[in-house]
Amino acid sequence: MAGFIMLSSLVTIAQTDTTANPSAATDTTGNNSGDTVRVGNFLIVRKKGATDNYNPPKRSDYIIINIPHKHVYHSEPARRSRISTNYLIFDLGFANYRDKTDYSSQEAMDYLKYDPANEQPFQKEDLKLIPEKTSNVNIWWFMQKLSLTKDGSLSLKYGLGLEMYNIRYKYNISYNEKPPYIYRDTIDFSKNKLYIDYATIPFMLNINPGPDPRHGLSMSIGMSAGYRLGSHTKQISDERGKVKNHGDMGFDPWRVAYVAEVGLGPVRVYGSYSITPLHDQGLKQYPYVVGLRFSNW
């Protein structure tokens, strides 16, 4: 009795399925035979000489064939790009320099002008900076990482940006442009600043020990090369007001530096140490910077 009910149900469903999809009830010649229907994965074939449609169906009148599922081949997932790009990265840090000048050398005395009759020779103290007001601001137009490994744990990191330095002198020194030299000024400045900027390209080896560099530990170390785009001094005093002097004033046109970056989650610290001096004559001062980097990775 249960088999009869099941067969009746299949035949009823088969009739419904055939109505919804007439092509399923066609013979091998393409004509609708009414003797073969497909319901899901089952093919129901009515035998020749079976009971007509006006009498209850018999199980022996039909052959039920189970059609196996077709194996579906899934395409491989798309490979992750080896290159990732980050735009508009900002740095904010404190700057200073390591002074290795031999102030008794003839080269230093030629660049540091003084009046032997009334002044003492220049010393390191004369070029001292105000550390809390000497800053570095960088804008990296873009940075990219080229993965060197499949999991992205080792990458080459590079970019292009603008490095800007605001150097605040503690004492009243001034730059002369042509010929370039530094001298002690007679004016008491309320602000005595040197601004200098470079177009810079950094190259670093980036290491990401964790699976997600944006939330784990990341480290980068390498070098950068920059070309000076401009420089000027800005001095403010009661006697002269605000005065800006533009020119190279003896600065080295190139800047080559060691660079590094350490990130832990969203917090990133960067640093750089110049291996070329700030000036290309007289002085041997090597700027260095430590600060915060605002970046996605």
- The yes-or-no verdict on residue 92 having pLDDT over 80 is yes
Per mean pLDDT, which range of 78-92, 107-121, 133-147, 238-252 is the poorest?
A: 78-92
Q: Supply the Cα-derived Rg of the chain in whole angstroms.
A: 40
Q: Does domain 83-294 have CATH number 2.40.128?
A: yes
pLDDT for residue 223? 98
Structural domain boundaries in the chain: 2-66, 83-294
pLDDT for residue 45? 75
pLDDT for residue 57? 66
User: In percent, how much of the chain has pLDDT > 70?
Assistant: 77
pLDDT classification of 54: cutoffs 50, 70, 90? low
The tally of CA atoms less than 13 A away on the side-chain side of residue 98 is: 9
Which pLDDT tens digit goes with each residue over 167-214? 999 999 999 999 999 999 999 999 999 999 999 999 999 998 876 656
Phi, psi of 60 (to 5 degrees): -75, -15
Residue 183 exposed, middle or buried by CB count within 10 Å (0-12, 13-18, 19+): middle
Nearest to 279 by CA among 196, 202, 201, 222: 196
* pTM for this entry: 0.72
Determine the Cα–Cα distance for residues 115 and 172; give it in Å rounded to an integer: 15
Please give, one letter per residue, the 3-state secondary structure of the chain: CHHHHHHHHHHHHHHHHHHHCHHHHECCCCCECCCEEEECCEEEEECCCCCCCCCCCCHHHEEEEECCCCCCCCCCCCCCCCEEEEEEEEEEEEEEEEECCCCCCHHHHHHEECCCCCCCCCCHHHHCECHHHCEEEEEEEEEEEEECCCCCCEEEEEEEEEEEEEEEECCCEEEECCCCEEEECCCCCCEEEEEEEEEEEEEEEEECCCCCCCCCEEEEEEEEEEEEEEEEEEEEECCCEEEEEECCCCECCEEEEEEEEEEECCEEEEEEEECCCCECCCCCEEEEEEEEEECCC
pLDDT classification of 151: cutoffs 50, 70, 90? confident
User: In percent, how much of the chain has pLDDT > 90?
Assistant: 65
Determine the Cα–Cα distance for residues 86 and 66; give it in Å rounded to an integer: 56
